[in-house]
Amino acid sequence: MSSVGSSIPPQSQNVDAIANVDDVPIDNIDGEDDVSSDDVEGDDGGSDEVDRDDVRSGKRARIEVASEEVIISDPGLRKPLHEYEPSARDGLRRKYVAKGPCQPLAHDFPQKSFGKTMRCFVNKWFDDWEWLEYSVSKDVVFCFWCYLFRDESKNKSLHDAFVKTGSSNWKKGPEKFREHVGSVGSAHNDARTLYFAFKDQKQSLTRCVSSGIKSAGAQYRTRLTAAVDVTRLLLAQGLAFRGHRESFGSLNRGNYRELSDWYSERNDEVGKVTRENAPLNLQLTSHRTQTDLVTACGSLTRKKFVRDIGAKFFSLLVDEARDSSIKEQMCIVVRFVNTCSGGAVSRSCSCG
């Protein structure tokens, strides 16, 4: 709370010091410079194009991501996702997720011989297993979720056919599909979890953290504004902040705590983020916090006096008296000429 002492502005401006996380720039992560034409020129002008291709070969995957040609609908003709540059994979995933699995419902599925019976892929399987996608060129099925998010090191033997070669056992289709899905914690189910988390960006870790920071910042601003309002009122009336007993069982916990509780009870917005609704380390009611708030207000008051007085003449009157409890009471009066209005101005404060 020590930083509050130098940053709390007046009531209308006391929340400007909170940092805005949306203003933080995101650095370029590619870490590669543009290729200059001087770097690829050769002795022979005819080999210039070949040299350019060689120099730019490291960027081909990234360039392909920007091209619509890399998004191939037929899963049997796709290149495995792990063969692309790591920095390009998320871009591919976004495009494939937006496109969805390849499910040609109107296709005339060819029949294959299984013993004495001719069988083919059944359209209804698309409804029962939404992750299925069919390759028209190879007459096999693949797993859309596993292609995008499968763990290469987990249960390879159970799902390689649905990612690499495809499955075409129409006789035992549903049985093979259930075998591929597996139990809880299988590679397929892990890929399913990653797929829906990636699809719903509102639930992504980055968005949740960012949303949490913004929400916590808004709550803190409301809590701090209420604390500053209470502090300014007590200072303006010259009232003491603390009480003899400030525990929860006390009938009078001091002006600061009692007024803060009164404020929270009558302002729903403040009540939602204070007392039991506030973190224990952000109650803004401790003695140290009260001292910091008073110090901050005193600093701003002194700056206001200096700014109003400017380089003009002023007078300072200090008087001291002892009350019935033999305690010294001091009153300070500052008089100066207001440079704007031209009239005399007096400012006073008491110290005990």
Question: What local confidence, expressed as pLDDT, does residue 154 receive?
Answer: 63
d(CA 297, CA 317): 22
Tokens of 120: 């083919």
State the burial class of residue 157 (Cβ atoms within 10 Å of its Cβ: 0-12, 13-18, 19+): exposed
Question: What local confidence, expressed as pLDDT, does residue 134 receive?
Answer: 93
CA 66: distance to chain centroid?
Answer: 27
DSSP state of 27: P
d(CA 137, CA 144): 16
Question: What local confidence, expressed as pLDDT, does residue 156 receive?
Answer: 56
pTM above 0.85, yes or no: no
Tell me which residue has tokens 């401790």.
Answer: 286
Question: pLDDT tens digits for the chain (352 residues)?
Answer: 434 443 334 443 333 433 333 443 434 434 444 444 344 343 444 444 444 444 444 444 444 444 444 688 899 888 888 888 888 888 888 889 888 899 998 899 999 888 888 999 998 999 898 999 999 999 999 999 888 888 776 655 555 678 888 888 898 889 989 888 888 878 888 888 888 888 776 655 666 677 778 888 899 999 999 999 999 999 988 899 988 888 878 888 899 999 999 999 999 999 999 988 888 888 999 999 999 999 999 899 888 878 877 767 888 889 888 878 888 888 888 888 877 777 788 877 776 6
Long-range (24+ apart) CB contacts under 8 A made by 67-71 are: 71/95, 71/96, 71/99
Contact 166, 141 (CB under 8 A): yes
Question: What local confidence, expressed as pLDDT, does residue 187 receive?
Answer: 86
Question: What local confidence, expressed as pLDDT, does residue 211 receive?
Answer: 72
